[in-house]
Chains A and B, each alone.
Chain A
Amino acid sequence: MLKAVSVRLYTSLLVLVGTMVLVFCIVNVLPGDPALLILDPSSATPEMIANLREQLGLNQPFYERFGEYFLHVLQGDFGKSIVNSEPVLPKIVEHFPATLALTALSSLIAVVIGVTLGVLSAIHRNRWIDIVARMVGLFGISMPTFWSGILLILIFSVQLGWFPAMGSDGFSTLVLPAITLGFVGSGFIVRMVRNSMLEVINEPFIVTLRAKGLPGRFIMYKHALRNALIPALTMVGVIIGDLMAGTVVIETVFSRQGIGRIIADAIMAKDLPVVQGVIFFSAIVYIVVNLLVDISYTLIDPRVRRTG
């Protein structure tokens, strides 16, 4: 098992380097000339453009620029903001806890609501709880968060005054954004758990258990649920990543501080080093989360342990 984990760790590192190349290419190569993206070509003088190109290191060949960036990243230097020359990494680290809290709480909401409703809906198929679960699933994946968030602000902040509409101090400011984001996640998880549970319920081994005369509840929670949750667990890693990406919109809607807000502002200001830094940082977090999910997978599913 230790071997499986170390192999997984090694491939994750390789993927991480690949991701660094990709992010670097998107930000530095895709626009053609980043200097022209940052400065308005109609009003900027050729000297301004030349200066910025010098500052961004655009005069060097691509591989040199990437090599330099790579070495700096290894030393924990993600570059400096073009707008205010602040170093990128400390700023990300400073604001990451707020985003982490939001992602964690919304993932918790998503998993609790999603798994509970998904399981109940599969067991009580076509009953009212199943209809509720399917509605949650459909609305969860169909409502844009920037709209549902605004509706929540309208109802719970503007009308009822229960929660603050914006800010990032204290738990009360976390409630509405986490519900908004968690609802989306629960939509995906409900659909997935329901499908996977229904599939397991039809498996021959469940029929055998029934034939043996085991009580239905025991079969469902002891045997069916365990098997149904394994495919669901893989998706949870992906969903946590999506929820983290979702904070870009949510932190803008609720005016929260966090790395989602940093990247949204950086995009508006065309602050490419910051954009690059935040995306690469998020990719690291995402890879780590999925690594943890994979490892927990081997702990839960004995079949993976044996073959891995």
Chain B
Amino acid sequence: MKQAVIGKQVWQGSRAEGAAKIRKLKRLAPADLLLYAAAVIVLFIISCALFPSLIAPYSPTLMNTDQIMQPPSLQHVFGTDYFGRDVFSVVVHGSRDSLLIGFVSVLVGCVTGGAIGAVAGYIGGVVDAVFMRLIDVLMTIPGVLLALAIAAALGPSLMNVVLAVAAASIPGYARVMRGQIMSIKGRPFITASRSIGTSSLSIFVRHVLPNSLSPMFVMAAIGIGTAILTGAGLNFLGLGTIKEIPDWGALLSQGRGYLTVAWWICTFPGLAITLFVLSINILGDKVRDQLDPKQSRA
């Protein structure tokens, strides 16, 4: 029987291969397609941020007074704005600041919050109590307001927006890290390691820390989307610097005044934010499902 099947496969050769490919494609659930689409969008927008000049058809600062507020056309796919700039090119170039805010603030927030949580959770006692009361206090101010206050106090600049968004995310990371460290700290393999005389620092670096990191990755993955939204919001409110090439939030805010005459100026930057954050969240959910079996069962 087995012989016959193998024989059939050999005989059908490439046809069987083709059929297998089709079966494989059919097996791709809509959820997988969504995942691939999300990955493609994220990669495309990241390459926009890295190489804007290669992707944008026009210079983002080129003002064409003959073509002010033209609706989307083949020549200008996202239309032109009140200076006659090509909106698509401005959006492509603006991705750099928007993404920078998202990624850098998550990095800063995750590392700072993680460090606070790790120290508090591992050392415990008074250190833990002090750090956690500090975090409790930080948490009484909703994230957006905290970011707003810090950005307002520091004055308008891109770096300050990054710092503000990062600071607002610190409490969340600190709490998750602390919880994780405390649960790992009590496991039998840590006691075992201690009983053979491993130093406290070495246990922390080699066992506790590596085992505590995966929820942080999950949180950071989801946090990129939130950070981009908060950052764009601060720029929308005018807390970033006024630059020649606005980021998505600032561009949207500038286009708002022309809403009734030129809907495309603020529609497309918003679409860019939504698409990117949506895709990041789809990928983030996938990372969570992979790293956190308890959640993925749910």
> Interface of A with B (CB < 8 Å)?
15-16, 18-19, 21-23, 26-27, 30-31, 34, 37, 138-139, 141-148, 150-151, 153-154, 158, 195-196, 198-199, 202, 241-242, 244-246, 248-249, 252-253, 263-264, 267-268, 270, 272, 275, 279, 282-283, 286-287
Task: Report the contact-size class of chain B (Cβ under 8 Å from the partner).
Answer: 35 or more
A245 near B140: Cβ-Cβ < 8 Å: no
- Give 15 CB contacts A-B under 8 Å: A19-B137, A26-B153, A31-B154, A138-B281, A141-B281, A146-B232, A146-B252, A147-B274, A150-B256, A151-B267, A195-B295, A199-B298, A245-B145, A272-B153, A283-B140
Q: Is B297 an interface residue (CB 8 A)?
A: yes
Residues of chain A with a CB closer than 8 A to B155's CB: 31, 37
B153 touching A30, Cβ below 8 Å: yes
Q: Are A198 and B298 in contact (CB under 8 A)?
A: yes
| Given A23-B149, A198-B298, A244-B142, 11 further pairs, Cβ under 8 A | A18-B137, A22-B138, A141-B226, A142-B277, A144-B273, A144-B274, A246-B144, A267-B148, A275-B153, A279-B149, A287-B140
Say if the beta carbon of B143 comes within 8 Å of chain A. Answer: yes
Q: How far is the CA of A26 from the CA of B260 in the complex (A)?
A: 39
Q: Using CB atoms, name the residue of chain A closest to B147.
A: A245
On whether the beta carbons of A146 and B282 are closer than 8 Å, the reply is no
Max chain A C-beta neighbours (<10 A), residue from B142, B146, B277, B298: B142
CB-based contact A241/B142 at 8 Å: yes
- In the complex, which residues of chain A have a beta carbon less than 8 angstroms from the beta carbon of B273? 144, 147
Task: Say whether A144 contacts B270, CB under 8 Å.
Answer: yes
B83, chain A: closest CB distance, angstroms? 20
B281 touches A267 (CB 8 A): no
Q: Are A242 and B153 in contact (CB under 8 A)?
A: no
Contacts of A30 in B (CB 8 A): 150, 153-154
Q: Is the CB of B232 within 8 A of A158?
A: no
A144 x B153 contact (CB < 8 A): no
Q: How far is the CA of A263 from the CA of B282 in the complex (A)?
A: 34
Q: Which of B10-18, B56-64, B173-181, B236-244 contacts A (4 or more CB under 8 A)?
A: B236-244
CA distance A176 to B226 in the complex (A): 23
CB 8 Å contact bits of B105-136 with A (1 = contact, 0 = none): 00000000000000000000000000001101
Chain B CB within 10 Å — which of A23, A138, A145 has the most? A138
Alpha-carbon gap, A241 to B143, bound state (A):
9
In the complex, which residues of chain A have a beta carbon less than 8 angstroms from the beta carbon of B298?
195-196, 198-199, 202
- What is the bound-complex CA distance between A248 and B229, given in angstroms? 14
Q: Is the interface of A mostly helix, strand, loop or mixed?
A: helix
The answer to whether B217 has its CB under 8 Å from any CB of chain A is no
| In the complex with contacts A144-B274, A199-B298, A248-B237 CB distance below 8 A | yes
**B238 and A268 contact, CB distance less than 8 A:** yes
Most chain A CB neighbours (cut-off 10 Å) among B137, B143, B229: B137
Q: How far is the CB of B171 from chain A (nearest CB, A)?
A: 11
Once the chains bind, are B141 and A150 in contact (CB under 8 Å)? no
Which of B137, B142, B239 has a CB less than 8 Å from the CB of A267? B239
A15→B142 contact, CB < 8 A:
no
Contact A249–B153 (Cβ < 8 Å): no
Q: How far is the CB of B182 from chain A (nearest CB, A)?
A: 19
Q: Report the minimal beta-carbon distance from A11 to chain B, rounded to whole angstroms.
A: 9
Most buried by B among A18, A146, A287: A146
Partner of A142, one of B238, B239, B260, B274: B274
State whether A26 touches B266 (Cβ < 8 A): no
> A138 vs B137: C-alpha distance in the bound complex, in angstroms?
30
- With A15-B136, A31-B154, A248-B144 as known contacts, state yes or no: A150 contacts B237, CB within 8 Å: no
Asked whether B68 is an interface residue with its Cβ less than 8 Å from the other chain, the reply is no
B204 CB-CB contact with A under 8 Å:
no
B95, CB-defined interface residue at 8 Å: no
Q: How far is the CA of A139 from the CA of B270 in the complex (A)?
A: 13
Q: How far is the CA of A139 from the CA of B260 in the complex (A)?
A: 25
Interface string of B258-272 (1 = CB under 8 A from A): 011001001101110
Distance A145 CA – B232 CA, assembled complex (angstroms)? 10
Bound-complex Cα distance A139 to B155 (A): 32
B143 contacts A153, CB within 8 Å? no
Closest to B275 in A: A142
Q: When the two chains form the complex, which single residue of B150, B256, B269, B274 contacts A143, counting CB atoms closer than 8 Å?
A: B274
- State whether the Cβ of B100 lies closer than 8 Å to any Cβ in chain A: no
Which residue of B is nearest A159, CB measured? B263
Q: How far, in angstroms, from A263 to B152 measured CA to CA in the complex?
A: 10
User: Which among A37, A150, A153, A198 has the highest number of chain B CB atoms within 10 Å?
Assistant: A150
